[in-house]
């Protein structure tokens, strides 16, 4: 069973040797409450950090690394899944146990390279279901995925079920804004939502507090919440976060567009007096 955009349908053909992961699960069986609700996960991610973002106006724009996470998942019953997630699963659900000396790393890193033509780092651990990160594509055993998606709908949560909403057009938006820009904002998508960090490079240092207050007032006017801390290596004068429904809207980021337009008008007027 595959759920997600056509671009990643190749995941239907992916398989992996799960014997080491099953042995890892079995070695911890007596210590895991509700054993069958635990999975072993290997997560592969690009060898780069979002905090070292390259400004798209620079020459670095020619190469944009994959910023999603490729996960290989196995249950105690040896039901196997491959999924591409927005965040690192073990960041949202800390691993109960980690496998530091995974022997079969090559099969996972080779698969990642085949998909994204870049090297990766890996993490392996045991976590308890349900998953708490959103998947943009997932392939695996029908019966298990259907049960998990049903559980998510009952609990009003999104993890595997998020992939049902992602087609190729939505994927393009996610890829563009996962770690990108919108107008003067640095944009980062994680499981908190679509995070906007306002960066106005034209400001003098002594004007930054004033315009930070302007952004704060506009954020309240548009009923937006501030984004949580994120390591952005630029001078941020304000932030706000939109829910995931905004990525599916026909009028993309309308609130943000209006807020930034109003900010520019206020800035133009203030500049006459300071």
Per-residue pLDDT reduced to its tens digit, 72-111: 999 999 999 999 999 999 998 999 999 999 999 999 999 9
Whose CA is closest to 32, among 152, 126, 148? 126
Q: What pLDDT shows up at residue 198?
A: 96
C-alpha angle 92/4/191, rounded to 5°?
25
What sign does the dihedral 202-208-212-218 (CA atoms) show?
A: negative
Ranges of each domain in the chain: 2-166, 178-270
Residue 263, SS3 per DSSP: helix
What lies within 8 Å, CB to CB, of 217 at 6+ separation is: none
Q: Where are the alpha helices (DSSP H) in 80-228?
A: 89-92, 105-116, 142-155, 168-177, 208-221
Whose CA is closest to 104, among 38, 46, 48, 44? 44
**pLDDT tier for residue 64 given thresholds of 50, 70 and 90:** low
Q: Are 194 and 177 in contact (CB under 8 A)?
A: yes
| pTM of this structure | 0.88
Q: Which one has a higher pLDDT value, 230 or 214?
A: 214
Q: What is the DSSP letter of 225?
A: B
Q: What is the mean pLDDT of residues 134-157?
A: 96
Q: What is the mean pLDDT of residues 40-46?
A: 96
């Amino acid at each position: 069973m595959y759920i997600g955009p056509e671009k990643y349908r190749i995941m239907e053909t992916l398989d992996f040797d799960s014997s080491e992961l099953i042995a890892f699960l079995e070695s911890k069986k007596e210590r895991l409450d509700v054993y069958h609700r635990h999975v072993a996960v290997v997560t592969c991610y690009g060898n780069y950090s979002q905090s070292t973002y390259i400004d798209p106006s620079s020459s670095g724009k020619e190469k944009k690394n994959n910023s999603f996470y490729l996960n290989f998942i196995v249950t105690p019953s040896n039901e196997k899944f491959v999924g591409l997630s927005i965040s690192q699963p073990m960041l949202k659900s800390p691993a109960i146990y980690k496998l530091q000396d995974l022997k079969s790393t090559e099969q996972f890193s080779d698969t990642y390279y085949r998909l994204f033509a870049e090297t990766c780092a890996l993490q392996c651990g045991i976590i308890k279901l349900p998953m708490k990160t959103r998947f943009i594509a997932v392939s695996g055993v029908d019966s298990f995925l259907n049960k998990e998606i049903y559980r998510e709908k009952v609990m009003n949560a999104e993890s595997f079920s998020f992939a049902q909403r992602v087609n190729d057009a939505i994927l393009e938006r996610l890829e563009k804004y996962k770690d990108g820009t919108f107008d003067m904002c640095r944009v980062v998508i994680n499981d908190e939502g679509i995070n906007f960090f306002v960066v106005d490079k034209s400001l003098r240092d002594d004007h930054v507090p004033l315009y930070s207050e302007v952004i704060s007032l506009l954020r309240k006017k548009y009923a937006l919440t501030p984004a949580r801390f994120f390591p952005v290596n630029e001078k941020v004068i304000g932030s706000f976060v939109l829910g995931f429904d905004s990525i599916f809207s026909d009028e993309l980021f309308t609130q943000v567009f209006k807020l930034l337009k109003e900010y520019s008008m206020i800035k133009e007027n203030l500049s006459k007096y300071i």
